[in-house]
Amino acid sequence: MPFVHVYYPKSQGEEKELQKVSEEIHKSLITYFNIPAEDYFQLFSPYDLGQFYYHFNYLLEHKAKRTDKMILVSITCAPGRTVQQKTGLYQAIADAFNEHFNIPIENIFITLNETHRENWSFGQGKAQMISIKEER
């Protein structure tokens, strides 16, 4: 049930590249969070240079630096994943952006926002995840 929102520089990414990155993020979620393949909800939002402000090397190792190609991946999901699942997911997503967008992994900023299942509606005015949780 993750919802993924990706903010990327407007100058980066054509539709074909965005689709490939979206697919790679989804594969990573399937692998590390064990989600069903049909659980696919992602939004890509471009931003203009000068609209995203950040420190060039905060918490980066080995004097690495961020560039003006900073990517923010915000994932909202239900709680319950281990630290190992989360860190594996972060690395897989960073690697996907590096491979398909040629963006250094230093430029990939990922946030994970956990929200309880009753806080989700997938349409029809229903909280579908409550009944799924009760069935388990």
99-128 tens-digit pLDDT: 887 889 999 999 999 999 888 888 888 888
β-bridge pairing 42-47 and 108-114 = unpaired
The lowest-confidence range among 39-53, 61-75, 101-115, 119-133 is 119-133
Please state the φ and ψ torsions of residue 57, each to the nearest 5 degrees.
-145, 20
In the predicted structure, residue 135 carries a pLDDT above the cut 60: no
Question: Locate tokens 């806080």: which residue?
Answer: 119
Domain residues for the domain of 99 are 3-135
Question: Locate tokens 């388990």: which residue?
Answer: 136
**Residue 38: CATH number of its domain:** 3.30.429.10
Provide DSSP, 13-82: --HHHHHHHHHHHHHHHHHHH---TT---EEEEEE-TTS----SSTT-STT----S--EEEEEEE-S---
Q: Catalytic residue among 2, 46, 79, 104, which?
A: 2
Domain count of the chain?
1
In the predicted structure, residue 95 carries a pLDDT above the cut 60: yes
36 noted as active-site residue: no
pLDDT, residue 11, reads 83
